[in-house]
A and B are shown apart, each in its own frame.
Chain A
Amino acid sequence: MAGKPQPVRVLYCAVCSLPAEYCEFGPDFEKCKPWLIQNAPDLYPDLVKEANAKETDKVANQLQSTGISSGGGDGAASSAPKEEVKRLPGGKIKKKEKQEVTIEKVTRNKRKSITTVKGLELFGVKLSDASKKLGKKFATGASVVKGPTEKDQIDVQGDIAYDIVEFITDTWPDVPEAAIFFIEDGRKVPAA
């Protein structure tokens, strides 16, 4: 025995944290599989075989259903249309998203309340700009806040729901009144 023993490097699964060889006994082998195929193919030769079989099936299906094999990679062809739906050039408008603005009054204390405005960005309105305008108009504090679903919203202090609709339609003519809704008791009520 000469020199320091070198620490053994163990391949740990990035999905379940166990040594990769124990994934099959782990909490969710199915979830580990894609990682294992990439990173530990020699530990699970059957998985790789299985995956290859599936892959050829898939390609075969694709060829059958489209009836064409435009030389140039099936992968690229199938992923391209998906992208298009998600985001139009310029990224201004997401096609799938319904364009609407929702306004909700949230009571903070007994008397204090906050009015949240969501969805203005769907009409190409810059939220930081809108928040400034709203604050000025209603002489109150307004700020852009990260909403729960990674979408931003504007929080305006105070109950301003009564004339915010008019202000929005006046300030941003692109936003039709019909697209503005109030959330009342969890229900959506058209403002118009």
Chain B
Amino acid sequence: MFKKFSTEEVSAQNQVKASVQRKIRQSIADEYPGLEQVLEDLIPKKSPLIVAKCQNHLNLVVVNNVPLFFNIRDGPYMPTLRLLHQYPDIMKKLQVDRGAIRFVLSGANIMCPGLTSPGGSLDDEVGAETPVAIMAEGKQHALAIGFTKMSAKEIRDINKGIGVDNMHYLNDGLWKSGYIVALATSLSFAAY
């Protein structure tokens, strides 16, 4: 998703109306109850919230020049990795084995065997079409944000093919442009 992402792909970025801001905030609060107590710090009601619309129907939620969440069309909001690193427990986690790390970091989707091998691990509560944190064997921090194509149980049973789509990973365009987006946003016209 973000492999070649750059600020050039931001086709429009606008400060959203208060009603839209409330809606986004509520969606995020519903999806990430673990953030309840820090939500006001992350997305202060009074700070402007900017939505950067990018190619492929991707939206970035930017507050105080920091991209915090993204979603596709009206899909669920997913945190950026920098945010997830700060609050690692807000998402369910799946773990890939060490051998899969370099593939994930080059943007590949996550194959079932990388999750079912001894170095991997699955959370059985994870259903299909769910945002998840992708952790790695022997590492403390997440290396990617994924969106499951099948449930954890199916990943275990089927055990082949793509189990999780790789949405955002360390050193992809969004990771690298974190600050650039921030800069571009601060320079953009604060439209309505």
B102 in the interface (beta carbon within 8 A): yes
Q: How large is the interface on A (under 10, 10 to 19, 20 to 34, 35 or more residues)?
A: 10 to 19
CB distance from B3 to the nearest CB of A (A): 14
- For A10, what are the chain B residues with a Cβ–Cβ distance below 8 Å? 85-86, 141
Contacts of B132 in A (CB 8 A): none
The answer to whether B87 and A7 touch across the interface, beta carbons within 8 angstroms, is: yes
Contact A21 B37 (CB under 8 A): no
Cross-chain contact B37 with A5 (CB below 8 angstroms): yes
Chain A hits for B127, CB < 8 A: none
| A-B interface contact total, Cβ < 8 Å | 44
Q: Which of A1-21 contact B (CB under 8 A)?
A: 3-5, 7-8, 10, 16-19, 21
Which of B88, B101, B171 lies in contact with A8, CB distance below 8 A?
Answer: B88
A22 within 8 A of B: yes
Contacts of A22 in B (CB 8 A): 101, 105, 139, 141, 143, 170
Residue of A nearest to B138 (CB): A21
Q: How far is the CA of A19 from the CA of B175 in the complex (A)?
A: 12
Instruction: Indicate with 1 or 0, residue by residue over A11-40, a CB within 8 angstroms of chain B CB atoms.
Output: 000001111011001110000000000000
Chain B interfacial positions (CB closer than 8 Å to A): 34, 37-38, 41, 85-89, 101-102, 105, 139-141, 143, 170-171, 175-176
Instruction: Give chain A's interface residues, CB within 8 Å of chain B.
Output: 3-5, 7-8, 10, 16-19, 21-22, 25-27
